[in-house]
């Protein structure tokens, strides 16, 4: 007897079971427990946060390019006069404001934008469909995850309006700086720096619940016949991402709790003895704390977090490439093992962010070695996808454009990371724009391109309509150009010695010192001209998202209708559902007969052979038949 | 629609969903507590002060250990009863489990409570005193009087751990002033029959309505200002507080107005309005100036060169710059003694500063910290002496506390006892090949006098025993005589402990035994607090199974058994964490 049948038979036992009545608006769209609705909620919220994070960055780029000029009206008209008079000096962005925007840009982009978009939105929408499940294992928990995330986001963004402003100590929130920033605020719950920690606790709890839910779903709710090696690579990537979140986030939670204690109860976990600040004098605390401990706890999360950002994007691209090259994914197995090894290694590379803290050469050497090692699985993933293109008859539709651009863009991001792995080189490059350029290549044209590919790819499944091709091109090409114009010069400036925290782009530095008087010769002055170039690229990059915005909303009603439920002729299970998938997803009893990427098989007519299609009787089985799981 | 495997196991994994879920969740919990334990190790290894070893009362911790272990057993019995479909037995065992959780939390609460009422002081010579603060009052002259045990405590008394400032003036920053602080100051001042009043006339020229268009900079010429001020005065005396001429939010507060929080709010509102207005006016001016400079030097691209040409002159301002003081000063007729908790004030010569940037003008009066001392810890003194290559005993002999005759006697008794301990150890364990004793007293034995020692000394004194008599050791109070630490209400102990008044300038750092005192207590409260939250959370879930699951038991007992199994797994984890916590915090 099949599992599904068994479960259906048990329906009678439970009075809360099947939904016999129509759900109201609130239950259907707001407090929904349906994984698809939650996925969409995550996606839209995350896109809004991405836009907000982008805005913060545009203001920062203004301060870098034109540090002595007032912020122009088009970036500030919606801010209240009172807010402006507090945070801008004669309309100019102050160092304090720059720091606040910088810290929040990083936090919002990473924790409120990309992770929720990649892992939570795509993971939620696609994973259960791809494994042939009717929903997540714990639908209510899923809803709680989303609302905790939402709450965390509100707390974070609300902190822009308290007297102290939002957190200003960098997205890494290093103690002791973050430990006593805003300590002048009597009611610490109203201090931005404390609210950052509270928001973080919400976000971490949300991620943990989400991770538990994803992992359980993938382990226990796979359809009959969907064995581990028949899982689409997307699901594998989500599985590994789930483990990273599950195990890497708690130490950050520890760090956040300890810092919260430092701030609210006056403890000294991260506050060394004899700490003195210009404004507060000798710090009145017991001291003897360890700032290094904070960094260890933070980066224990921080590095796996990079892969939490990255894997969902790779996952999307790995689905799109076979679909549009009409070829199996090259090296599927090595990719799977690669991603598992990557997951393991990502837990033991964290201290390469800390070469400059004086941990000692032995520790540095260890982390240098592991860091170089982790490039091996990364290269396996990237190369497999590159080789997958070889000899394919590639359909350059919108998702494929983004997926194809992902490969070289992420390649630049990855390769520029190699010099940073070596601690001698890192001594020079640490905290320069080179580092900024490197990780933005990974997350912006890398991860975001992958996620855009995903949006264009699954949009027809979500809405039943394609996104407009012209607007799609209008989105893609300018984005590609301006991304590179924005981030490539960072690598150049970084090597020339531009420090990442110069709020006025090196201008104040040059005003202080005569030209050419810095330790790098006069390289800073030489590359100053790139500042406005990059800033304009950033603003134009923002403008090139407008076609996407229009496309995203208008195609819901005006897009070209899809020809059938499987518009891309894909093989994985999400395309076997009606469009859009109803509550409960599948209208038939799901059985999986083969691997995920059966394209252009010579023994099968048509160039794709979906996972769910029953083999014809005379056809030889290509693998020893799996025992049906039941 | 029904999610599969909610209560039946999937055959190939052998697990139902929530079982996978709880194991994964516990994995992340292991990382959470693992992080905290690593933090403990890291902090302890790198501590630059003597780590307080075995500082917690062992008995409550020990009882709690057995309570939790017991509850872990009963929760299994509860689960087994469900599996056997014996509802009454399930109720019985689950009831015991939850009762255990309650006992655990009560003991924990008692332990916490004792810590939160126990004061510690680090003096500038690194002597550490522990004890209970005396109560104190201010007399009509503003002098601080400590109230010792046995005296009657009048109303309005406060812990004698304050800084008294003979306040002449209070300067309040409008956007920063913290209302509770202001109310506290007002209340204390009223009690002493004094009212702070505004020192000088304050004019807030608000933001003019027509800022963008009409007015120009010359509007703030002295002549017109005088005229405006006159109008504001008149408006004020006629009861109309918001004069029109100087914008919608002008305000005049005459000299002598008494301080209220409402007044501050009013002033803050106008101040913010003025600040917004000025920001707007100056931003406009700066924009125009940049336009001019750019057109004047079209070839210069480097902003830092151009920035030198930028000047905002009054002529550039097309709107009126509003004026409003950002802080107001209130004065007393005569200096009034106000007391503040040490943690909110930073006292200085002539001016002291509260945490909300309120500046108090006036000299700091003598306000010693009064303490009934139940332990003296000189380990840090000794450690520092050794680090500096000095003889610890010589340094100790010169400490301020040695001037206290009561303590001097105690220290002599302690030294005599230590000598006899050394002798005893040598006798018992002998000498090694270099002729040194194999066993020596620990740093704790040498440099720390705890409350049990004090009580033993007192009892020995009562019984006229010699200090080095071996019987003194037997006079130490046992575990039951102070379950959560020294009991200051016990009259016998009150005589054993000695009173001391530490002058203000000798107090380097003071705190109750809270996370603030040192990071041993910080990590103790953090880990046990988080663990306590887990206990409470777990108990709530188990209570739900006990009290609200009869219906589920009738319809699907297996499902309930599975749920209890999940709860039980979590409960075992909570127990396991405590098994690690107990030794590292209480015993090591």
Asked casually if ipTM beats, i.e. exceeds, 0.85, the reply is yes
Q: Which 121-180 residues of chain B touch chain A by CB within 8 A?
A: 175-176, 178, 180
Residue in B181, B283, B517 closest to A91 by CB: B283
CA B413 centroid distance within chain: 36
State the pLDDT at residue B468. 77
Q: Are B210 and B351 members of one domain?
A: yes
Q: What does the pLDDT look like over B460-506, one tens digit per residue?
A: 989 988 877 878 888 988 888 888 889 888 888 988 999 999 998 89
Provide the token pair at A273.
């003895």
State whether A261 and B515 contact (CB < 8 Å). Answer: yes
Rounded to a whole number, what is the distance in Å from the CA of B487 to chain A's nearest CA?
25
Tell me, yes or no, whether B148 lies in a domain.
no
Closest-CA residue of chain B to A89: B279
Q: Are residues B284 and B389 in the same domain?
A: no
Please report whether residue B293 resides in a domain.
Answer: yes
**A138:B21 CB<8 A:** yes
Cβ burial, residue B229 (10 Å; 0-12/13-18/19+): middle
Collapsing DSSP to helix, strand or coil, B47 comes out as: coil
Tokens of A347: 């837990």
Q: Which residues of B touch A251 (CB under 8 A)?
A: 31-32, 34-35
pLDDT band at B150 (very low <50, low <70, confident <90, very high): low
pLDDT in tens, B94-118: 999 999 999 999 999 999 999 999 9
Q: What is the DSSP string of B460-480?
A: HHHTT--TT-THHHHTS--GG
Residue B465: per-residue pLDDT: 87
- The reply to whether B325 and B417 lie within a common domain is no
Residue B156: band (very low, low, confident or very high) from pLDDT cuts 50, 70, 90: confident
Predicted confidence (pLDDT) per residue in A368-411, tens digit: 999 999 999 999 999 999 999 999 889 999 999 999 999 999 99
Å between A54 CA and nearest CA of chain B? 24
Lowest mean pLDDT: which of A598-607, B179-188, B286-295, B474-483?
A: B474-483
> If you average pLDDT over residues B374-383, what whole number do you get?
96
The confidence band for A621, taking pLDDT boundaries of 50, 70 and 90, is low
Cα(B587)–Cα(B584) distance, integer angstroms: 6
Rounded to a whole number, what is the distance in Å from the CA of A66 to chain B's nearest CA? 7
> Between chains, do A254 and B36 touch, taking CB under 8 Å as contact?
yes
The whole-chain average pLDDT of chain A stands at 91
The last residue of a domain, from among B345, B367, B389: B367
**Å from B555 to nearest chain A CA?**
7
pLDDT tens for each residue of A417-440:
999 999 999 988 999 999 999 999
Residues A551, A564: Cα–Cα separation, whole Å? 21
First to last CA, chain B: 55
Across the range B560-569, mean pLDDT stands at 96
CB atoms within 10 A of CB A414: 19
Omega of the bond leading into A176 within 30 degrees of 0 (cis): yes
Could you tell me if residue B146 is inside a domain? no
User: Which region holds residue A516: left if phi is over 0, alpha if psi is between -120 and 50, else beta?
Assistant: left
Q: Mark whether B491 and B545 lie in a shared domain.
A: no
Chain B residues whose CB is inside 8 A of the A85 CB are 272, 275-280
Residue B170 and residue B39 share a domain: no
pLDDT bin (cut points 50, 70, 90) of residue A623 is: low
pLDDT bucket at A359, cuts 50 / 70 / 90: confident
pLDDT at A496 over 50: yes
Supply the pLDDT for residue B480: 83
Which of A436-440, A503-507, A588-592, B361-365 is least confident? A503-507
Quick check: B385 pLDDT over 60? yes
At a CB cut-off of 8 Å and minimum separation 6, what does A120 contact? A39, A42, A46, A145, A146, A149, A210
- Per the structure, the count of domains in chain B is 3
Q: B459, B489, B512: which is the final residue of a domain?
A: B512
**Residue B208 pLDDT grade (very low, low, confident, very high; cuts 50, 70, 90):** low
Cβ of A254 and B35 within 8 Å?
yes
pLDDT greater at residue A623 or residue B59: B59
**CA closest to B40 among chain A residues:** A269
* Residue B446 or residue B228, greater confidence: B446
Q: Is the dihedral of CA A438, A439, A444, A446 positive or negative?
A: positive
Q: CA nearest B306 in A: which residue?
A: A68
Q: According to the model, what pLDDT value does residue A551 have?
A: 97
Q: Cβ of B20 under 8 Å from any chain A Cβ?
A: yes
Minimum distance, in Å, between the CA of residue A560 and any CA atom of chain B = 32
Closest CA to A346 of A318, A320, A377: A377
pLDDT of residue B222: 64
Q: Are residues B172 and B48 in the same domain?
A: no
Q: Is A184 in CB contact (< 8 Å) with chain B?
A: yes
Mean pLDDT of B423-442: 90
Contact A17 B27 (CB under 8 A): no
| Residue A526 banded pLDDT, cuts 50, 70, 90 | confident
Please say which residue of B317, B337, B367 terminates a domain. Answer: B367
Range of the structural domain that residue B495 is part of: 371-512
Chain B residues within 8 A of A287 when measuring between CB atoms = 48
Task: Tell me if B23 is assigned to some domain.
Answer: yes
Q: Which residue of B has its CA nearest to A268?
A: B519
Q: Tell me what pLDDT residue B127 has.
A: 96
Higher pLDDT pick, B373 / A183: B373
Contact B276/A at CB under 8 A: yes
Nearest CA in chain A to B278: A85
Which of B129 and B310 is assigned the larger pLDDT? B129
- Higher pLDDT pick, B252 / B230: B252
Q: B517 and A216: CB-CB below 8 Å?
A: no
**Is residue B128 included in any domain, yes or no?**
no
Using a CB-CB distance cutoff of 8 angstroms, which residues of chain B are in contact with residue A137? 3, 5, 17, 20-21
With beta carbons under 8 A apart, name residues in chain A contacting B511: 266, 286
Same domain for B428 and B351: no
First to last CA, chain A: 7
Q: Is the same domain home to B22 and B89?
A: yes
Range scoring the smallest mean pLDDT among A114-118, A502-506, B579-583? A502-506
Nearest-Cα residue of chain A relative to residue B515: A267
* DSSP per-residue letters across B96-145: HHHHHHHHHHHHHHHHHHHHHT-EEEEETTS-EEEEEEPEEEE-TTS-EE
Partner residue opposite B3 with nearest CB, options A91, A137, A296:
A137
Cβ distance A281 to B25 less than 8 Å, yes or no, reads no
A516: pLDDT confidence band, cut at 50, 70 and 90?
low
**Residue A580: cis peptide before it, omega within 30 degrees of 0:** yes
CATH number where B112 lies = 1.20.120.80
> What percent of chain B has a predicted confidence (pLDDT) above 90?
67
Paired with B122 in beta bridges are: B128, B509
Res A115 pLDDT > 70: yes
What's the pLDDT score for residue B79?
A: 97
B2·A211 Cβ contact <8 A: no
Q: Give B200→chain A minimum CA distance, Å.
A: 26
User: A-B interface: how many C-beta pairs under 8 angstroms?
Assistant: 246
Q: Give the bridge partners for B339, in sequence order.
A: B164
Shared domain check, B325 and B362: yes
Asked if B286 and A215 come within 8 Å (Cβ–Cβ), the reply is no
State the pLDDT at residue B69. 97
* B369/B72 Cα distance (integer angstroms): 47
Mean pLDDT score across all residues of chain B = 89
User: Does the residue B568 lie in any domain?
Assistant: yes
Would you say residue A77 has pLDDT above 90? Answer: yes
The conformation of residue A560, written as its DSSP 8-state character, comes to P
Calculate mean pLDDT across residues A166-170.
Answer: 95
For each of the domains in chain A, give its residue range(s) and CATH number, in order of start: 37-272+286-576 (1.20.210.10)
Residues A237-279: pLDDT tens digits? 999 999 999 999 999 999 999 999 999 999 999 999 888 877 7
Query: Residues of A with CB below 8 A from B181's CB?
Result: 186
CB proximity list for A243: less than 8 A, separation 6 or greater: A211, A215, A343
- Is the predicted pLDDT of residue B429 greater than 50, yes or no? yes
- Note the pLDDT tens digit of each residue in A545-563: 999 999 999 999 999 999 9
Sequence-ordered strand ranges (E) for B300-414: 327-341, 345-346, 351-354, 359-361, 369-377
Among B200-209, B253-262, B366-375, the range scoring the smallest mean pLDDT is B200-209
Judge whether B460 lies within some domain.
yes
Least confident stretch, A202-206, B393-397, B480-484, B575-579: B480-484
- Is there a single domain that holds both residue B423 and residue B488? yes
pLDDT at B108: 96
Contacts of A528 in chain B (CB under 8 A): 302
Reading phi first (left if > 0) and then psi (alpha if -120 to 50, else beta), residue A182 is in left
Question: What pLDDT shows up at residue A595?
Answer: 94
Q: Is A393 on the interface with B (CB under 8 A)?
A: no
**Band of pLDDT at residue A132, cut at 50, 70 and 90:** very high
Q: Give contacts of B 314-373 with A, CB under 8 A.
A: 343-344, 346, 355-357
Are the beta carbons of B546 and B79 closer than 8 angstroms?
A: no
What pLDDT, on the 0 to 100 scale, is given for residue A520?
A: 54
The pLDDT tens digits for A284-328 are 889 899 999 999 999 999 999 999 999 999 999 999 999 999 999
Please state, as a whole number, how many other Cβ atoms lie within 10 Å of the Cβ of residue A294.
27
Is residue B129 one of the residues assigned to a domain? no
Which residues from B are below 8 Å from A34, CB to CB?
Answer: none
Give the closest-approach CA distance of B5 to chain A in angstroms.
8
Per-residue confidence (pLDDT) for residue B212, from 0 to 100 = 38
């Amino acid at each position: 007897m099949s599992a599904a049948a068994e479960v259906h038979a048990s329906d009678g036992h439970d009075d809360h079971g099947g939904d016999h009545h129509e759900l109201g608006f609130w239950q259907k769209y707001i407090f929904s427990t349906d994984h698809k609705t939650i996925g969409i909620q995550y996606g839209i919220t995350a896109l809004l946060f991405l836009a907000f994070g982008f805005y913060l960055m545009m203001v920062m780029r203004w301060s870098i390019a034109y540090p002595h000029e007032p912020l122009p009206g088009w970036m500030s008209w919606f801010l209240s006069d009172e807010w402006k008079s507090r945070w801008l000096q004669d309309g100019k962005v102050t160092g304090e404001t720059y720091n606040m925007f910088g810290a929040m840009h990083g936090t919002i982009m990473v924790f409120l934008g990309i992770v929720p978009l990649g892992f939570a939105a795509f993971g939620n929408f696609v994973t259960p469909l791809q494994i042939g499940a009717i929903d997540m294992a714990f639908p209510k928990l899923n809803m709680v995850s989303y609302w905790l995330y939402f709450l965390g986001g509100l707390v974070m963004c609300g902190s822009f309006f308290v007297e102290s402003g939002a957190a200003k100590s960098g997205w890494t929130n290093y103690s002791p700086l973050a430990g006593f920033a805003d300590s002048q605020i009597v009611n610490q719950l109203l201090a931005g720096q404390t609210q950052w920690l509270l928001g973080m606790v919400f976000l971490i709890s949300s991620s943990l619940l989400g991770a538990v839910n994803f992992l359980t779903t993938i382990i226990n709710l796979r359809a009959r016949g969907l064995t581990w090696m028949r899982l689409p690579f997307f699901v594998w990537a989500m599985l590994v991402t789930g483990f990273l979140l599950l195990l890497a986030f708690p130490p950050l939670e520890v760090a956040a709790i300890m810092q919260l204690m430092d701030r609210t109860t006056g403890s000294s976990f991260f506050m060394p003895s004899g700490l003195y600040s210009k404004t507060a004098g000798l710090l009145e605390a017991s001291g003897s704390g360890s700032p290094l401990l904070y960094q260890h706890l933070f980066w224990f999360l921080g590095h796996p977090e990079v892969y939490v950002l990255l894997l969902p994007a790779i996952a999307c691209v790995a689905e799109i490439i076979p679909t549009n090259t009409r070829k199996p994914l090259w090296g599927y197995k090595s990719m799977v093992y690669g991603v598992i090894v990557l997951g393991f290694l990502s837990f033991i590379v964290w201290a390469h962010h800390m070469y400059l803290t004086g941990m000692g050469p032995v520790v540095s050497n260890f982390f240098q070695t592991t860091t170089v090692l982790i490039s091996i699985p990364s290269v396996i993933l990237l190369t497999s996808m590159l080789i997958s293109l070889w000899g394919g008859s590639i359909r350059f539709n919108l998702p494929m454009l983004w997926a194809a651009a992902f490969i070289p863009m992420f390649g630049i991001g990855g390769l520029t990371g190699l010099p940073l792995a070596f601690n001698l080189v890192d001594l020079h490059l640490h905290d320069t724009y080179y580092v900024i350029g490197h990780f933005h290549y990974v997350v912006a044209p890398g991860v975001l391109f992958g996620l855009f590919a995903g949006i264009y790819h699954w949009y027809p499944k979500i809405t039943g309509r394609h996104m407009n091709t012209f607007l799609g091109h209008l989105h893609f090409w300018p984005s590609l150009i301006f991304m590179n114009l924005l981030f490539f010069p960072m690598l150049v400036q970084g090597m020339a010695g531009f420090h990442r925290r110069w709020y006025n782009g090196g201008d104040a530095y040059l005003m202080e010192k005569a030209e050419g008087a810095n330790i790098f010769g006069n390289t800073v002055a030489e590359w100053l001209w790139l500042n406005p170039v990059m800033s304009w690229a950033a603003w134009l990059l923002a403008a090139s998202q407008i076609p996407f915005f229009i496309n995203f909303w208008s195609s819901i009603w005006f897009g070209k209708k899809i020809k059938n439920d499987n518009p891309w002729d894909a093989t994985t299970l999400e395309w076997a559902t009606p469009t859009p998938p109803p509550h409960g997803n599948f209208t038939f009893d799901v059985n999986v007969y083969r691997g995920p990427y059966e394209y252009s098989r010579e023994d099968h007519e048509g160039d794709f052979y979906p996972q769910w299609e029953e083999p014809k009787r005379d056809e030889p089985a290509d693998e020893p038949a799996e025992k049906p799981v039941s | 629609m029904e999610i599969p495997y909610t209560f039946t196991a999937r055959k190939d994994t052998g697990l139902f969903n929530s079982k996978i879920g709880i194991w994964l969740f516990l994995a992340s919990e292991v990382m959470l507590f693992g992080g905290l334990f690593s933090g403990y190790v890291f902090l302890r290894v790198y501590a630059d002060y003597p780590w307080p070893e075995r500082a917690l009362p062992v008995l409550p911790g020990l009882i709690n250990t057995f309570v939790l272990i017991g509850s872990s057993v009963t929760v299994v019995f509860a689960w087994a009863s469900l599996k056997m479909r014996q509802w009454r037995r399930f109720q019985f065992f689950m009831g015991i489990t939850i009762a255990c959780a309650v006992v655990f939390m009560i003991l924990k609460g008692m332990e916490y409570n004792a810590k939160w009422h126990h004061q510690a002081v680090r003096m500038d010579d690194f002597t550490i005193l522990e004890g209970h603060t005396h109560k104190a009052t201010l007399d009509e002259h503003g002098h601080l009087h400590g109230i010792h045990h046995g005296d009657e405590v009048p109303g309005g008394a406060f812990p004698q751990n304050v800084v008294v400032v003979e306040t002449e003036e209070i300067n309040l920053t409008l956007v920063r002033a913290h209302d509770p602080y202001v109310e506290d100051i007002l209340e204390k001042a009223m009690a002493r029959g004094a009212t702070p009043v505004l020192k000088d006339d304050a004019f807030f020229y608000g933001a003019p309505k027509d800022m963008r268009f009409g007015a120009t900079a010359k509007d703030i010429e002295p002549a017109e200002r005088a005229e405006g001020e006159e109008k504001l005065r008149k408006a004020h005396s006629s009861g109309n507080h918001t004069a029109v001429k100087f914008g919608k939010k002008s305000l005049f507060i005459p000299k002598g107005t008494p301080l209220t929080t409402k007044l501050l709010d009013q002033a803050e509102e106008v101040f913010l309005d003025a600040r917004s207005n000025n920001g707007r006016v100056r931003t406009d001016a700066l924009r125009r100036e940049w336009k001019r400079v750019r057109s004047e030097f079209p070839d210069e691209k480097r902003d830092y060169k151009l920035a030198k040409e930028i000047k905002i002159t009054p002529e550039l301002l097309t709107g009126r710059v509003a004026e409003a003081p950002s802080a107001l000063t209130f004065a007393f007729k005569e200096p009034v003694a106000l007391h503040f908790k040490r943690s909110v004030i930073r006292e200085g010569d002539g001016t002291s500063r509260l945490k909300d940037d309120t500046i108090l003008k006036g000299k700091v009066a003598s306000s010693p910290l009064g303490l009934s001392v139940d332990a003296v810890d000189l380990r840090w003194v000794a450690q520092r002496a050794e680090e500096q290559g000095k003889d610890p005993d010589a340094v100790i002999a010169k400490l301020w506390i040695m001037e206290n005759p009561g303590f001097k006697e105690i220290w002599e008794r302690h030294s005599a006892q230590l000598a006899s301990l050394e002798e005893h150890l040598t006798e018992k364990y002998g000498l090694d090949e270099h002729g040194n004793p194999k066993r020596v007293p620990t740093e704790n034995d040498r440099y720390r006098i705890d409350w049990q020692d004090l009580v033993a000394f007192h009892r020995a004194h009562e019984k006229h025993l010699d200090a080095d008599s071996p019987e003194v050791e037997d006079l130490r109070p046992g575990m039951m005589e102070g379950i959560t630490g020294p009991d200051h209400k016990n009259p016998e102990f009150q005589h054993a402990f000695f009173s001391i008044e530490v002058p203000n300038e000798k107090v380097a750092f003071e705190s109750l035994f809270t996370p603030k005192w040192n990071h041993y207590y910080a990590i103790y409260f953090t880990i046990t607090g988080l663990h306590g939250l887990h206990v409470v959370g777990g108990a709530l879930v188990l209570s739900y199974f006990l009290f609200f699951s009869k219906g589920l038991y009738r319809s699907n007992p297996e499902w309930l058994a599975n749920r209890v199994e999940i709860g039980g797994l979590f409960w075992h984890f909570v127990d396991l964490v405590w098994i690690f916590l107990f030794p590292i915090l209480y015993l090591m």
